[in-house]
Amino acid sequence: MLELAAQEIIRAWESFDRPRPRESVIDEALAARLLDSLPEEPGDPAAAMRDAGRVLDASISPARPLYLAYIGSTGLATGALASALASTYDVNLAAHAAAGEFLDGQALRWTAAFVGYPHADGAFTSGGQVSNLTALVAAREQALPGSREHGLEGRRGAVYCSREAHHSVVRAVEIAGLGTAAVRGLDIDTDRRVRPELIDAEIAADREAGVTPVAIVATAGTTLTGAVDPIAALADVAERHGVWLHVDGAYGLPAARTPSGAALFRGLERADSVTLDAHKWLGVPKSCSVLLVRNAACLNAAFGHRESYMLHRGDAHNPVDRTLEYSRPFNSLKLWMAFRIHGAAALRGWIERSIGHARRLAAMLEDDPEFEVLHRPQLSTLCFQHRPAGVDDLDEHNFELAQAVQADGRVYLAPADLDGRVCLRVCFVNFRTTDDEVDDAINAIRELGARVRSAPTDRRPPRPARR
């Protein structure tokens, strides 16, 4: 079985270095087998492995160079190897895990050094949602002491962020018991960054109304446009009011010490907590998210516990005392392997190239009268519209163009809504992407845009209603 798996992995890996001419589709025979009932008897391992490989090959994979939708995990070979090793040994980092804990701690220290953050403690989690939740629960316990044990007891709290913060922040506030109404999603400036003076005023107004400020959340790379909130200015507000500052850097934080990105992250070292998803811009397979905190005691205050089935070694904490997840796979091994084998400089160089790809594409689009760039790219994300002459409904046209690009398969991107305008959104995070492939992407989009423009309207699929 292991040899069969190795063959499938090698076959797939060899295909990832180049874009496909067309997106793969599932064949009818395989689709029929996927409707079969539960097998009671053993089956052929080779046939099962072939079908698994075919299913994956016909699925949307972010590993190829021109997967530009959302923020994909691009899959370093070192990460795949580490995932296989970790699954083989199935180490659980909830309780004492011997040598695994030492490696886990080193991976935290290396991550903190990579982005320039003076951490005291942290944890690897399953994703940005859990990392943000972990940070905000710790912030809640600091702002509203005893809420872990007794609940809010009628107290009200508030969390302050950009209106373009990731929805995981809203979910975390909800799960933490503060309620959706506790989220203060505030306006942004012309660079699409939250305005610190608005947060300052909201905190003052909330305190006057008897509402306790729980945390300010700075987004370091918004999902929609890649904007980085002004961390240093937000740190000033947080210090002035004595409020926890959390930096949600799930996407953008790996750029914190690159030549093009460093200035955007000024003040990062002053945050109380930061999160980073290594399965985004650091190329390891999902899932591998990191939470780092400056106060070593805050996570245990929020999550520590003592149970008869999980004894502590003296005064030492178990790894699970730092986060809410009990079944904790050895996720840190993937990132540790990436740092150990490739080195920090190589990873930063790839991130810098990704930023360059977004700037290269923006420059090409600005020189083309049929396109409009909708924001200045700060990191590696760009939103733009195709605006050919003679098209009355540009929103409809761009939505149809996005669908056509996805169906074509040479490039994979997604539509987005930016200030009420439907646009095309791309995000460069793949170490495999080259400048030539950026050129190929815009050429394919031009070609498909012309085709969509000339297609009869009665052959176009209906666009779902906008919310």
With pLDDT > 90 as the criterion, what percentage of the chain qualifies? Answer: 67
**Using 50, 70 and 90 to split pLDDT, how confident is the model at 310?**
low
Candidate from 107-111, 269-273, 307-311 with smallest mean pLDDT = 307-311
Residue 407 has pLDDT above 90, yes or no: no
Q: What is the mean pLDDT of residues 16-39?
A: 82
Give the pLDDT confidence score for residue 96 in this predicted structure: 73
Classify domain 344-459 by CATH number. 3.90.1150.170
pLDDT band at 317 (very low <50, low <70, confident <90, very high): low
- pLDDT at residue 465, as a whole number: 44
In this predicted structure, what is the pLDDT of residue 123?
93
- Would you tell me which CATH number, out of the four given (3.40.640.10, 2.40.160.10, 2.40.10.120, 3.90.420.10), belongs to the domain 81-342? 3.40.640.10
List C-alpha distances in Å: 91 to 124, 313, 318: 14, 19, 14
pLDDT for residue 303: 82
Tell me, what's the pLDDT at 108? 96
Residue from 257, 250, 222 nearest 416 by CA: 222
pLDDT on residue 463:
53
HSE-up (13 A, CA, CB side) for residue 333: 22
Q: Which of 12-16, 302-306, 413-417 has the highest mean pLDDT?
A: 413-417
Residues 429-453, mean pLDDT to the nearest whole number: 94
C-alpha distance from residue 243 to each of 140, 158, 291, 351 (Å)? 10, 11, 19, 32
The string of pLDDT tens digits covering residues 34-84 is: 999 999 999 998 899 888 888 888 877 777 778 788 887 777 888 888 888
Q: Strand, coil or helix: what is 43?
A: coil
Please name the residue that has the structure tokens 């982005």. 115
Nearest to 228 by CA among 259, 192, 182, 200: 192
What's the pLDDT at 315? Answer: 62
Whole-angstrom Cα distance, residue 296 to residue 437? 45
- Burial of 145 from C-beta contacts in 10 A (0-12 / 13-18 / 19+): exposed
pLDDT in tens, 115-133: 999 998 999 999 999 999 9
Written as one letter, the residue type at 37 is S
Mean pLDDT check: name the lowest of 74-78, 182-186, 439-443, 444-448: 74-78
For the chain, percent helix, then strand, then coil, each to nearest 5? 45, 15, 40
Q: Give the model's pLDDT for residue 68.
A: 87
Question: In the prediction, which pLDDT does 54 show?
Answer: 86
| Bond before 131 cis per omega within 30 degrees | no
As a whole-number percent, the residues of the chain with pLDDT over 70 amount to 93
Indicate if the pLDDT at residue 466 is higher than 50: no
Q: Answer yes or no: is pLDDT of 311 > 70.
A: no
pLDDT in tens, 365-403: 999 999 999 999 999 999 999 999 999 999 999 999 999
Residue among 325, 248, 338 at smallest CA distance from 285: 338
Lowest mean pLDDT of 307-311, 327-331, 404-408, name the range: 307-311
Question: What is the mean predicted confidence (pLDDT) over 93-115?
Answer: 88
Q: How far apart are CA 410 and CA 288, in angstroms?
A: 28
Position 459 pLDDT exceeds 60: no
Two structure tokens written together for 165: 């913060």
Question: What confidence tens digit (pLDDT) does each residue in 234-292 have?
Answer: 999 999 999 999 999 999 999 999 999 999 999 999 999 999 999 999 989 888 999 99
In the block, residue with structure tokens 């050129």: 439
81-342 against 344-459: fold identical: no
Rounded to an integer, what distance in angstroms lies between the CA atom of residue 51 and that of residue 57? 10
Q: Predicted confidence band at 467 (pLDDT cuts at 50, 70, 90)?
A: very low
Residues 75, 83, 296: CA angle, nearest 5 degrees: 100
Question: Domain spans of the chain?
Answer: 2-66, 81-342, 344-459
pLDDT at position 457: 56
Residue 210 above 60 pLDDT?
Answer: yes
Residue 383 confidence (pLDDT): 98
Is residue 8 predicted with pLDDT exceeding 90?
no
- Give the pLDDT mean for 350-379: 97
